[in-house]
Amino acid sequence: MNTKNNHIKYIIPKLKDKRILKEKNKTKRAFFTSAKKYKSNLFKISFLLILIIIIYYANNYIYKNNNKFFFFEKNQDELKYCTNYGLMIYNYHYYENIGDYIQSLAALQYLPKNCKPYLVDRNRIQYYNGPNVKLIMNSWNKIVGGTKYISDKINPIFLSYHINKPKILPRIYLQDLENYAPIGCRDTHTRDKLIKYGIKAYFSSCLTTTLDIDYAAKKRERTNDIIFTDFKFGFYSQADDYIRSLKSYNFNNITNITHYFKKKLSEIGRFKLAKKLLDKYARAKLVITTRLHASLPCLALNTPVILVNKKFDIRFSGLYKFLNTIGRNEENKFEIKVNVDNKGFVYNSKEYLKYSIKLKEALKNF
């Protein structure tokens, strides 16, 4: 009996020890299984994060490259033409103004990258006989002779459109415009003139106010450059006095720029020059100019800008309110209308933005 009891007493602790060991092994296995699952999940999450980062930077790289290299920066012989897209060029008779090519760069932002658009001469638009193209008509336009105003090969998008001195508009011209109404006008003077002739029109503002798509500079890329574009001290004494009163700026070190260029400059050279100027404007600390297509791009590029004008120009109508200005307003009264913060630095109004957003939206699927 004693022996049997002793045997039972021996077996029971042994069984307990086995049970405990089994439980410990089970816990250990569960721990390692859980740890393996955790490591596996951690690996999956890490892999996904790395993949997302790679995709993000790859897309960023592609985006930057697509926007960095325009058709005029590449070997023209290696380029294919964009299907069904046109772009304005300008053959001048009297003067050469790079502002027109800045307008074309604004339109180019909405065209496919890495291919060449068909180039359409604004001054011979009724004679264009290339492939059928869609063309953004964001430009200064002179009324020309001929049997038609616009070639049948062109499907025009009338945005930021300006007519030069539209005193008498020929019937053939009006008929063409009626086919594409409503017409988005760059200035209120053009809008009012078209409405007077019974054509539906509205003020769209200028397409150069959307140049931030491809040309905006990052904050760290800003310089301390003060740029005078076709403006010099001595041009307008009342402007001189005010500008010199801006003590937060050093006007002893000024970069002078002109929008005039030599007529013999090639089309490719003109586009390159326009881009070079936009790059300068995008990085400047302040721009003072007499040029509409220096001042309006600066709004888009978030570069403080002041427009100086001795007399009011109808091209400014509707756009004048967006800008810091010194000179004659729409009522032909002299005024200084410049936004300055409490540190003495010039800043731009954001009033242009609602029109800029509408222009981008209108050309989103162009």
CA–CA distance, 25 with 14 (Å, rounded to integer) = 16
Compute the chain's Rg from CA coordinates.
Answer: 33
Q: Are residues 159 and 225 in the same domain?
A: no
Give the pLDDT of residue 6.
54
Q: Are residues 218 and 344 in the same domain?
A: yes
Give the pLDDT of residue 66.
42
Give the pLDDT of residue 108.
96
Given a cut of 60, is residue 55 above it in pLDDT?
A: no
Q: Are residues 115 and 245 in the same domain?
A: no
pLDDT tens digits for range 64-114: 444 456 899 888 888 889 889 999 999 876 678 999 999 999 999 999 888
Domain limit, last residue, from 165, 183, 209 = 209
Given a cut of 70, is residue 132 above it in pLDDT?
A: yes
Q: Are residues 231 and 108 in the same domain?
A: no
Q: What is the residue-wise DSSP string for 290-321?
A: S-HHHHHHHHHTT--EEEEESS--GGGTTTGG
Question: What CATH number should be reported for the domain holding residue 310?
Answer: 3.40.50
Looking at the domain assignment, is residue 202 inside a domain? yes
Looking at the domain assignment, is residue 94 inside a domain? yes
Q: Are residues 219 and 350 in the same domain?
A: yes
Looking at the domain assignment, is residue 365 inside a domain? no
Give the list of residues 6+ apart from residue 227 with CB closer than 8 angstroms, or none: 254, 255, 256, 257, 280, 281, 284, 286, 287, 288, 289
CA–CA distance, 159 with 358 (Å, rounded to integer) = 11
Give the pLDDT of residue 11.
52
Determine the 3-state secondary structure of 11 from DSSP.
helix
CA–CA distance, 154 with 83 (Å, rounded to integer) = 13
Q: Are residues 175 and 257 in the same domain?
A: no
Pairs from 306-312 (Cβ < 8 Å, separation ≥ 24): 306/243, 306/338, 306/346, 308/231, 308/235, 308/236, 308/239, 310/236
Look up the domain containing 181 and give its range. Answer: 74-209
Q: How much of the chain, in percent, has pLDDT values that exceed 90?
A: 59
Query: Six-digit token pair at 147?
Result: 């049997």
Q: Are residues 92 and 183 in the same domain?
A: yes
Q: What distance, in Å, lies between the first and last C-alpha atoms of the chain?
A: 102
Distances, alpha carbon 240 to alpha carbons 50, 203, 298, in Å:
56, 33, 21
Looking at the domain assignment, is residue 335 inside a domain? yes
Domain limit, last residue, from 12, 44, 68 = 68
Q: 273 and 98 in contact (C-beta within 8 Å)?
A: yes
Query: Six-digit token pair at 232?
Result: 């010099």
Lowest pLDDT segment from 4-13, 209-218, 315-324, 328-337: 4-13
182-220: b or e for each residue (b if 16 or more CB lie within 10 Å)?
Answer: ebbbbbbbbbebbeeeebebebbbbbbbbbbebbebeee
CA–CA distance, 190 with 160 (Å, rounded to integer) = 10
Q: Are residues 54 and 121 in the same domain?
A: no
Residue bearing the bigger pLDDT, 44 or 287: 287
pTM for the full predicted model = 0.80
Looking at the domain assignment, is residue 363 inside a domain? no
Residue type, 154: I
Looking at the domain assignment, is residue 182 inside a domain? yes
Given a cut of 60, is residue 189 above it in pLDDT?
A: yes
Give the list of residues 6+ apart from residue 171 with CB closer than 8 angstroms, or none: none
Q: Are residues 247 and 269 in the same domain?
A: yes
Alpha helices in the chain (DSSP H): 2-68, 99-108, 171-179, 188-196, 212-215, 237-244, 267-283, 292-300, 353-362
* Stated length of the chain: 366
Give the pLDDT of residue 256.
97
Q: Are residues 132 and 242 in the same domain?
A: no
Q: Are residues 194 and 324 in the same domain?
A: no
Domain limit, last residue, from 162, 183, 209 = 209
Query: Six-digit token pair at 208?
Result: 């150069």
Q: How much of the chain, in percent, has pLDDT values that exceed 70?
A: 81
Determine the 3-state secondary structure of 217 from DSSP.
coil
Range with top average pLDDT, 45-59, 151-165, 341-355: 341-355
Q: Are residues 45 and 78 in the same domain?
A: no
Number of domains in the chain: 3
Looking at the domain assignment, is residue 227 inside a domain? yes
pLDDT tens digits for range 232-255: 999 888 899 999 999 999 999 899
pLDDT tens digits for range 271-291: 999 999 999 999 999 999 999
Looking at the domain assignment, is residue 132 inside a domain? yes
Q: 304 and 345 in contact (C-beta within 8 Å)?
A: yes
